[in-house]
Amino acid sequence: MKKSVEKKEIKSEISSEKISTKSANVTILEKTFIIDGLNTLSHKVWLYLPPNYKTSTEKYGVIYMHDAQNLFDNATSFVGEWGIDETLNELYKNTGKSFIVVGVENGGDKRIEEYTPWTHEKYGGGKGEIYVNFLVNELKPFIDKNYRTKATAENTAIIGSSLGGLISFYGGLKYPEVFGKIGALSTSFWFSNKVIIFAEENGNQKNTKLYLLVGDKEGDSMVPDTENMAELLIDLGFPSENLKTKVHPEGKHTESFWKAEFLEVLTFLFNL
């Protein structure tokens, strides 16, 4: 009887384990990064290379993303993955177009401080500038040195959701000479009113492309916050043709929402 129970327990444990879903062209770099001044964590970096990377001499645009645990693999995701690799593999199959994607793992319980440039009375945070400086001054030079990239701003995007959307918005506007394309999805503009001041000081960009996505079922302030930010940017002189704001009537604050919208985001940002 005991052996039977043990077998059932073992079978239950196996069936409850998450199965890895990442594609063969997704790897985790051997090199990890401890970000000076941020925290003492060793950050892993995930890398998606196009299906034809090893058989061509082509250079590729690069997309920098956050929360790498959730981008490619159900086994490491919090509540589901974005399916970035499947989406881009299908894009390549259908069009021959593809990108390099660089995803930085978040710091777990340090995530809030990593992805917020300002502090919040309740939630803390405020080390986002250090994180963005790492992307600009350490990670991007490393990627450009070791992989065949189109290194100019017009070929470089920064994309994220929630607090990852906030840090993408911040990083892209602060460094337009590095990131020419921003995907700010379900952005946590609520985190600090200082984002308004920041936008007023940095929002008059002439060459940056920005995609703002929000779902109508994400929370009371998410839609008006996003629409107000879009209006502010246009008032500041941000070219209307370079800005797209989408309010999805059924959109929720979930990976499945961002997964479903990702290709449309890329289509706008890179004129696919």
CATH of the domain at 219: 3.40.50.1820
Token pair listed for 180: 């020419």
pTM for the full predicted model: 0.92
Distance between start and end Cα atoms, the chain: 61
Determine the pLDDT at residue 79.
Answer: 77
Query: What's the pLDDT tens digit per position in 26-41?
Result: 999 999 999 999 999 9
Q: Is 103 exposed, middle or buried (0-12, 13-18, 19+ CB in 10 A)?
A: buried
Does 55 reside within a domain?
A: yes
Residue with tokens 């209307």: 240
Does 10 reside within a domain?
A: no
Token pair listed for 114: 């990593």
Does 185 reside within a domain?
A: yes
How far is residue 46's CA from residue 194's CA, in Å, rounded to a whole number? 31
According to DSSP, the β-strands at 26-28 and 45-48 are: antiparallel
pLDDT grade for 64, boundaries at 50, 70 and 90: very high
Does 3 reside within a domain?
A: no
Q: Which of 14-18, 39-43, 114-118, 246-250 bottoms out in mean pLDDT, i.e. has the lowest?
A: 14-18
Does 34 reside within a domain?
A: yes
How far is residue 107's CA from residue 189's CA, in Å, rounded to a whole number? 21
- Number of structural domains (the chain) is 1
Mean pLDDT, to the nearest integer, of 123-127? 93
Query: What's the pLDDT tens digit per position in 72-106?
Result: 998 898 778 899 999 999 999 999 999 999 999 99
- Tell which residue, 194, 206, 197, 191, has the closest CA to residue 243: 206
Residue 2 confidence (pLDDT) above 50: no
Mean pLDDT, to the nearest integer, of 37-59? 95
Q: CA angle, 86 as apex, 272 and 84 as ends, to 5°?
A: 70
Does 5 reside within a domain?
A: no
Domain encompassing residue 113: 20-269
Helices 194-202 and 163-174 cross at an angle (nearest 10°) of: 30
Q: What percent of the chain has pLDDT over 90?
A: 87
Query: What's the pLDDT tens digit per position in 140-191?
Result: 999 999 999 999 999 999 999 999 999 999 999 999 999 999 999 999 999 9
Does 14 reside within a domain?
A: no
φ and ψ at residue 211, rounded to 5 degrees: -115, 115
